[in-house]
Amino acid sequence: QVHLVESGGGVVQAGGSLRLSCEASAVVFRINTMGWYHQAPGKQRELVAEISNDDSANYADSGKGRFTISKNNTKNAVYLQMNSLKPEDTGVYFCKADGFDYLNGDFSSWGPGILVTVSS
């Protein structure tokens, strides 16, 4: 199995910044894409940003100009730098990875989620 571990959440004042990290682990695997999703209280889970093998990135309109996604292939890690945070950014952020596990085949894995609270 491919396991994802997230870190970097917490409580910040509006206008502040956070950097979320996610590391993937398995015996032998490759990752095709990694991304971050946001689920506000009582709302559906929505894509925030994703990044592929060629380093191309896509952003939801809500985070454009404020959020930056990046990755470290050696560490099998993805990061989300969040600046100018707003109260509506509050919620649980989930890391997602898609790829191929050489022991189990294609995979699509979610992290357990990490809480971000932005106070006004």
SS3 letters across 51-86: EECCCCEEECCCCCCCEEEEEECCCCEEEEEECCCC
List phi, psi (to 5°) of 87: -55, -35
Compute how many other C-beta atoms are within 10 angstroms of the C-beta atom of residue 104: 12
pLDDT of the residue at 1: 85
Q: Would you place residue 101 in the very low, low, confident or very high pLDDT band (cuts 50, 70, 90)?
A: very high
Digit-coded pLDDT (tens) for 24-53: 998 899 999 999 999 999 999 999 999 998
In degrees to the nearest 10, what's the CA dihedral of 10, 76, 61, 111? -50
Is the four-CA dihedral 91, 113, 23, 54 of positive or negative sign? Answer: negative
pLDDT of the residue at 27: 84
Q: Would you place residue 16 in the very low, low, confident or very high pLDDT band (cuts 50, 70, 90)?
A: very high
Query: How far is it, in rounded angstroms, from Cα 21 to Cα 37?
Result: 13
Digit-coded pLDDT (tens) for 56-89: 999 999 999 999 999 999 999 999 999 999 999 9
pLDDT of the residue at 95: 98
